[in-house]
Homo-oligomer: A and B are copies of this chain.
């Protein structure tokens, strides 16, 4: 459960949503559209709408869509925490475990920053099919943070 405390940077959900829409419009391409649902202290919740482009025939887990959702949820949680000066943060690694086949529903990713260092951020992500109790995928991810970042 994300901490209800606001993120340190005081970026609002509306500001972050606008920023992504103007700077990263391509995040909406290729898979189901994504929506930032919630940001809080060191955490974010992001939804990817159910979309035929996410699912392989037979319902096999479509890994790349979940990878993209997990990666984006971590990026959002970093921007939320550190502010829009951290946009140059880049993914250096991700480990993703696919746990069960998601049903044809929205996917909801809960990202949580477990370390914010000077140079690296580490996050954990849980992905659920909307309304279902079992996790469909779990990821841990590392981002390299920009060396000198403007204050949020």
* Residues of A bordering B, CB below 8 Å: 23-24, 26, 29-31, 53, 56-57, 60-61, 63-64, 67-68, 71, 90-100, 114-115, 119-120, 122, 124, 126, 135, 138, 140, 142, 144
Contacts and interface: CB of A to CB of B under 8 A. Distances in A.
Copy count, this protein chain? 4
A78 to B, nearest CB: 14
Contacts of A135: 114-115
A30 B114 CA distance: 29
Contact of A56 (B26, B64, B114, B124): B26
Nearest to A97: B93
Contacts of A138: 114, 122, 124, 140
A64 B71 contact: yes
Q: Which 3 A-B pairs have the closest CB atoms?
A: A30-B30, A64-B68, A95-B95
A144 B95 CA distance: 16
A124 B100 CA distance: 16
A96 B94 contact: yes
Contact of A119 (B24, B29, B64, B144): B144
A64 B142 CA distance: 15
